[in-house]
Structure 1
Amino acid sequence: MTVIQDSSTLPRSERKPLYVQVVTQPALHGCWAVNISETGIGLIATPSGPGEGPREGEDLEMAFTLPDTRARIRVRGVVRWRHDPEERDDGAVTALGVSFHGFEGSDGVTLKRYLLDHQLYVAVVYAEETELRGLREALESHVRLRFVPAPEDVDTLLGRGDISALLVCGRDEARAIALVERLAARRAEADPTGAGPASDLSPRILYCAPAVPSRLVELFNQGKIFRALVPPFEPVALRQAVLQASRELGLRTEQRRAALELERNLLRERAREAPSLSPGTGVGNEPGFRSPVMRQVLEMVRVAAPHRVAVLLQGETGTGKEVLARVIHRLSGRSNQPLVVQDCGALTETLLESELFGHVKGAFTGAVADHPGLFVLADGGTIFLDEIENTTPNLQSKLLRVLESGDVRPVGGTQIRRVDVRIIAASNRDLAEEVRAGRFRSDLFYRLNSFTIDLPPLRERPEDILDLARYFLGHFNRTLRRSASGLSTEAEQLLMAAKWPGNVRELRNCIERAVLLSTDAELVTRRHLPPALVNTTEATRQPVRVSGGSAGSLRDRLEQMEKEIIRDALERHGGVVRRAAAALEMDPVTLGRRVRRHGLLTKEP
């Protein structure tokens, strides 16, 4: 969990309506959110009795899905107050006020972005001058109003996709009803399958013009209007109707999407789920950090973590660079601030620039509102840029400016905001080699290279293999509800002999597969492991043999054996002398000299 500041020391932030189901631990039956802010959430529930669920002052864990973005938020909080009804009946509810004190991963940043971006837009058509003032006074502090003078402009405005409600006003009954009928016909054409009500995913229509009561009832029963309000409007009633219409649209939209997204979301949750470091334990005791080489890495982490220095993590894919970045953040003085993670290889240059630095409304097609970038959201905390070698020279120059001055300017904007963000970068390739090849800016490299930590691949730290395997086995037993009892001797030997090109990530996937294939209380054996891993391991378990038979002097045969060992080490480490020397536990300069003597070509002299 990423710890944030105690909400009791923070000013109360603006609360916004949020009607979504919330899963809690301890369990609270029928729990829904009613409002939310950066620091807390309001809940209602229907517990079976006053003793169910957390009491005031107790901690609870919550998980809920944000509308529109469908992002899953996991947060820990404390119950500040709880109100149970004196008499419990079918309509009685329990209300709770919860303050946040910790989010999982970057979920706090996701929530903050949702709250900053979230706006309710309401369109108003045919409103006369006498109605405008009342509408503004009742609604402008809660929603953004868009006034449409002509019916042909309604289609354009609704086509933007961010209008949650439409108020049909004026005194012309025929004109107002004609517009309602036309919009209803358009919705029917958009959903000809009849799979659900045509109005489910369309803005709610509030009819605020004169009409015969029987006609209004007919329109309501046909689902063509959400509610009818008789002018003159009472401000509170109008405001409640508009907000209710907007919230109902969000719930209906989420319900429609839920059926199609359920399986995909579950798979995505499993893919995102990674074993996290336990807050209460020492880092050195975590699985995968107990080998001598990883203890050296952790010593470097402890040196760098308390300082603002930029850190560059280099290592093969799957070695755990993001895990180490979270350790650095956790051990820093910024642990109570956000840690934001961005994969630089997942987006195009334009999208990545917008994601990192933000954009202003109208900066490009689809930019319907100001969007805060990750640097702004991470202000005071840490940003982890994974696969930074995939960034373009243009974006690298903008990253350099942020590193040097802390100035961030959104795409299409003119105002500059200064932020205090610590940068941790990671690369799957040797950035020094990328600089020499002209694919990475040298000035940015030297700014990031102030403190470089090389993560060794799993094959160079065999002491961690079985430790990690047992940890993953227990982890997947819990998450997959299995009961694999352990690793057989044969499975352990195969795991230790594998080269693990995918490193810890490959080992994790291997154990997950084995746990899924195992039956109750069964040991993981050879048959549970991936066939490709078993076949490759057995093919490479032969000892290094001296080519050319047994002919030649002892010196010649030792020279030939040394050449074969060095060649094998270079092949396993991509031709990088420095990494091969670490695996062979020898000085890189000495190994480089022997590489040249044997005529072995490498990527690094």
Structure 2
Amino acid sequence: MTATSENPTPLRSERKPLYVQVVTQPALHGCWAVNISDTGIGLIATPKGPKEGPREGEELEMAFTLPDSRARIRGRGVVRWRHDPLERDESAVTALGISFQSFEGSDGVTLKRYLLDHQLYVAVVFAEEAELRGLRDALEGHVRLRFAGSPEDVDLLLGRGDISALMVCGRDEARAVALVERLASRRSEADPTGAGPASDLSPRVLYCAPAVPTRLVELFNQGKIFRALTPPLEPLALRQAVLQASRELGMRTEQRRAALELERNLLRERAREAPRLSPQADVAEEPGFRSPAMREVVEMVRLAAPHRVAVLLQGETGTGKEVLARVIHRLSGRSDLPLVVQDCGALTETLLESELFGHAKGSFTGAVADHPGLFVLADGGTIFLDEIENTTPNLQSKLLRVLESGDVRPVGGTQVRRVDVRIIAASNRDLSEEVRAGRFRSDLFYRLNSFTIDLPPLRERPEDILDLAHYFMAHFNRTLRRTASGLSPEAEQILMAAKWPGNVRELRNCMERAVLLSTGAECVTRRHLPPSLVSGAQSASRQQVRASGSGSLKERLEQMEKEIIREALERHGGVVRRAAAALEMDPVTLGRRVRRHGLISKDS
């Protein structure tokens, strides 16, 4: 072996289309190239299992044959990225990006020469003598022409691996249309490699034979031809059409490669950001699940999780519906497959439909490539639809179809995909009330309502408040690199007295602020908590003192004194001397009472 590069991840150079079979070690079943450059090669494969073949960062040996010269190229490379599909069907492919490291003998030079001399190859079928002269005059110097006289010859040409466009010529309309239909039929099954969608790998078809206009429109709308050129062929229009078709194939393949890499990165990022519960721990012992109310919820979850039944989670915003959805997925038999999350209130109806069900290329402005949709990405796993009450009746009918049949049809597409997805929906409103108000479809509600779990608000499970507060403090100590040492008794009282309209989410944000404001190993006190939370707790405490008719006069006076001293300390920044002057008290006496009431404060 001779080294060709010292950099394992060289800068990306211009890619050339190349569709040839590749033999690899470790072996990859059904492995074909889709593009190549002097620094790397793009591969697709149909491995027999997710563990077959090299992983990211691993090396592999490969061998493939260049078209025309039939030169055999042998080399080594490293897997820069690998994308294994979530789909479990025959058309699913694994895609890999390989960076070259070294070649055997002079194979690296042979490859460079091939790339430098490379031109676009165009196949021509059924062309008559007069047409051949016109084609050569119009395209010479721009593309290399290869000719075929029969469908069998076309198969041989397409098997070369570097044909980017196919021109169907001649005067026999029936023969030309039959060939187009034959090629389309083969593409609808699987491409000749057996490794991927033919729409990405097949040459673009230019129809240059006679045909009835309505038939041409039908062929074009069905995606069976790229463009139709009416004989006699005008040289400039012909050249532009051929070059556009050839280059579109390369661009389409690159878009697919980029989409696969982005999709892989997105799923990896989502998995990294998702909060994870300890796989060994009992759910009921996790923070936030230890109160009697949440233990009842956990029992409901344990009952529903192993079954495919749709689950509807209802509760106020911030009560932890997404966390509970992840628990259900973790306890189900689908835990090793994806959990896909979508907030139905974050997108418009059109965008949400495209995100959920996918879209076909060209179905709307900006749809430059096919998108599989979240239901397809979640096939075999679970999809969590948050704020489902924000969906429109039209989208609700499509969700109902997926629930009942498992059939998904992308926006602008004609092919229906069958998926096996468990649906968990969530709403912060009572969906039965939404149905009565006519804002939610009753048939979808009754389909989702087969197993409903109501999450109690945080104010109804006070046993979880301090437990969650300490959990969030430890979490933010790690992420913010702080060392807050705990909660003061007064801070705990304020947290317990708060109403928490934002529930667990509000508590989480409150503790993030407190940890961020802390310095050193400082204990979190009232001054670290949001002012609105402190004032709300004080107001509730005063109302409780005034409303309470129990307790001795001394006890009630003690409580009132504590509130008066607290207010004075807050007005004067916690400085006892200033608070004592405002209350016309001796600072030493006030200091003793501050300590007696547990009002820890800094003196100056």
Q: Deviations over 1:347-371 (max 9, x none)?
A: 1111111111122233223333332
CA distance in 1, matches of 2:42, 2:361: 29
SS at structure 2 position matched to 1:426:
strand
Comparing 371-380 with 420-429, which one deviates more in the overlay?
A: 371-380
Q: Which amino acid letter does the alignment assign opposite residue 143 of structure 2?
A: E
* 1:74-93 aligned within 5 A: none
> Cα gap change, 1:538/1:461 in structure 2, threshold over 3 Å: closer, same or farther?
same
Tell me which residue corresponds to 2:321: 321
**Which residue identity is paired with 2:322?**
E
- 2:161 pairs, out of 134, 137, 145, with 137
CA distance in 1, matches of 2:383, 2:161: 42
**1:478 — aligned with what?**
478
Tell me, yes or no, if structure 1 residue 456 matches structure 2 residue 471: no
1:163 Cα offset (Å)? 6.5
Q: 1:522 to 1:371 in 2, by over 3 A?
A: same
Superposition pairs for residues 146-165 of structure 1, below 5 Å? 150=239, 162=251
* Partner of residue 515, structure 1: 515
* Inter-CA distance 136–520: structure 2 relative to 1 (3 Å threshold): farther
The residue identity in structure 1 corresponding to 2:289 is F
1:162 Cα offset (Å) = 4.8
Alignment CA distance shift 1:15-1:428 (3 Å): farther
Which residue of the partner structure matches residue 370 of structure 1?
A: 370
The 1:123–1:436 alpha-carbon spacing in structure 2 relative to 1, beyond 3 Å, is farther
Q: Partner residue of 1:578?
A: none
**1:565-592 Cα distance to aligned partner (Å, 9 max, x none):** xxxxxxxxxxxxxxxxxxxxxxxxxxxx
Summarize the Cα distance change of 1:495–1:270 in structure 2 as closer, same or farther, 3 Å threshold: farther
Q: How does 1:113-128 map to 2 (within 5 A)?
A: 127-128=142-143
- Return the TM-score normalized by structure 1: 0.53
Offset at residue 108 of structure 1 (A): 8.2
Cα distance in 2 for partners of 1:286, 1:502 equals 21
CA distance in 2: counterparts of 1:18 and 1:480, whole angstroms: 45
**Aligned position for 1:537:** 537
Aligned to 1:505: 505
Specify the alignment match of 1:299 in structure 2: 299
1:131 shift after superposition = 6.7
Q: 1:34·1:42 contact (CA, 8 Å) conserved in 2? A: no
The code of the aligned residue for 1:470 comes to H
Query: 2:403 aligns to what SS in structure 1?
Result: helix
Return the alpha-carbon distance in structure 2 between the equivalents of residues 139 and 384 of structure 1. 44
What is the one-letter code of the residue matched to 1:281? Answer: A
Cα distance in structure 1, aligned partners of 2:402 and 2:426: 17
After superposition, the Cα gap between the structure-2 partners of 1:12 and 1:451, relative to the gap in structure 1 and judged at 3 Å, is farther
| One-letter identity of the residue aligned with 2:323 | V
Is the partner of 1:362 in helix, strand or coil?
coil
Distance, in Å, in 2 between the alignment partners of 1:82 and 1:495 is 58
**Shift of residue 328 of structure 1?**
0.6
Cα drift, residue 541 of structure 1: 2.3
What amino acid is the match of 1:478? R
Deviation at 1:16, TM superposition (A): 8.5
Which stretch of the first structure deviates more once superposed, 321-330 or 520-529? 520-529
Counterpart position of 1:211: none
Tell me: CA distance 1:494–1:375, structure 2 relative to 1, closer, same or farther (3 Å). Answer: same
Q: What is the CA distance between 1:292 and its match in structure 2?
A: 0.4
Counterpart residue type for residue 161 of structure 2 = E
Match of 1:335 in 2: 335
Higher gyration radius (CA): 2
Structure 2 distance, partners of 1:163, 1:96, is: 25
Question: 2:345 maps to which residue?
Answer: 345
8 Å Cα contact 1:117-1:371 kept in structure 2 = no
Pairing 1:397–2:397 present: yes
Q: TM-score, normalised by structure 2?
A: 0.53
Q: Which amino acid aligns with 1:348?
A: T
Q: 1:130 is matched by which residue type in structure 2? A: L
* Residues 11 and 443 of structure 1: CA distance in aligned 2, closer, same or farther (over 3 Å): farther
Distance 1:159 1:95 in 2: 28
Distance 1:360 1:488, change over 3 A: same
Q: Does the CA-based 8 Å contact 2:79-2:97 persist in structure 1?
A: no
Mapped partners of 1:271, 1:501: distance in 2? 29
In structure 1, distance between residues paired with 2:507 and 2:34: 44
Q: Give the structure 1 partner of residue 489 of structure 2.
A: 489
**Alpha-carbon separation, structure 2, partners of 1:516 and 1:424:** 35
1:540-578 Cα offsets, whole Å, 9 max, x none, are 22345899x99xxxxxxxxxxxxxxxxxxxxxxxxxxxx
What SS does structure 2 have at the residue aligned with 1:453? Answer: strand
Question: How far apart in 2 are the matches of 1:15 and 1:449?
Answer: 47
Is there any run of 5+ residues in structure 1 with no aligned partner, and where? 1-9, 20-31, 46-80, 84-93, 166-202, 204-242, 254-264, 551-605
1:447 corresponds to 2:447: yes
1:159 Cα deviation from its structure 2 partner: 11
1:15 and 1:154 mapped to 2: Cα distance? 24
The amino acid of 1:506's aligned partner reads E
RMSD: 5.0
Q: Superposition pairs for residues 160-171 of structure 1, below 5 Å?
A: 162=251
1:151 deviation in Å? 5.6
> Is the 1:406–1:419 Cα contact (8 Å) retained in structure 2?
yes
Q: Is the 8 A contact 1:41 1:98 kept in 2?
A: no
The answer on whether the counterparts of 1:469 and 1:511 sit within 8 Å (CA) in structure 2 is yes
Contact in 1 for aligned 2:119/2:143 (Cα 8 Å) = no
Quote the offset at 1:387 in angstroms: 0.5
Q: 1:361–1:367: 8 Å Cα contact kept in structure 2?
A: yes
- CA positional deviation for 1:291: 0.4
Uncovered stretches (5+) of structure 2, i.e. residues with no partner: 1-26, 62-75, 99-117, 121-138, 148-156, 165-192, 207-236, 550-604
C-alpha distance in 2, partners of 1:18/1:455? 52
Percent of aligned positions that are identical: 65
Please state if 1:428 is matched with 2:428: yes
Matched residues in 1 for 2:333 and 2:28: separation?
A: 22
Per the TM alignment, residue 115 of structure 1 is displaced from its structure 2 partner at its CA by 7.5
